[in-house]
Amino acid sequence: VGLGTGSTVRYTILELGKRMQNEGLEIKGVPTSLATESLALELGIPLIELPPDKKLDIIIDGADEFDLAFNLIKGGGGALLREKIVAQRAYKMIVVADQSKQVKTLGNFPLPIEVTPFAFECTMNEIKNILDCDVIIRKEDGNIFTTDNHNFIIDAHVGPKIENPKDVESRLLQIPGVVQVGLFVGMCDEVVLATKDGIEVLSK
């Protein structure tokens, strides 16, 4: 099981740990961040490296936004690179989210873009030229935020106008300093949605 990162999916991981203790559930997890790894170990969830020769059964993760086609913006927690690596190696991706994350068009949530620290200001300028929007280097406690992979995150304030996320992702990945883009296109299979009336499961 791929174990996602973020405040929403944290509750899912806590529940998995509880079910392992109380119901004898048996799983092996692949964490997508150091924070998730720490939580899983605390709960007694056995962890493995991502297998190079076979896919995971499933990954459970959160999302900052998802559109009508289940395309996602992810990376608000800064783990987008590992999340995408693990998601691509899973047969099924389930996203846990609340109704505020459901949008018609992606982009109202700033698009996270992971970049190399080397020449990051040059990379920022190229991102700005492609997206024609404000771009901001992410900071934490006054310092530049650093990912688990020792990269930086650029947040692009595109606005709700990413109508072709695959094209946007492709153009950004052509910039040499861009490591990965927080657009997950065609990867999500199911959304478990928390609504005011209860839980709703959305499938493709």
Catalytic amino acids? 83
User: Which residues lie below 8 Å from residue 86, measured CB to CB, with a gap of 6+?
Assistant: 2, 30, 32, 50, 56, 59
**What is the layout of strands, in order, in the sheet containing 178-181?**
134-137, 152-157, 111-115, 178-181
In this structure, what are the phi and psi dihedrals at residue 42, rounded to the nearest 5 degrees?
-60, -35
Q: Residue 20: in which H helix or E strand, if any?
A: helix 7-23
Q: Are strands 198-203 and 143-144 parallel, antiparallel or unpaired?
A: unpaired
Going by C-alpha positions, the residue among 95, 122, 130, 118 that lies closest to residue 203 is: 95
Going by C-alpha positions, the residue among 119, 122, 124, 128 that lies closest to residue 137 is: 124
Q: 165: which 2 tokens? A: 């996320």
**Number of alpha helices (DSSP H) and beta strands (DSSP E) in the chain:** 5, 15
If one counts every other C-beta atom within 10 angstroms of the C-beta of residue 38, the result is 11
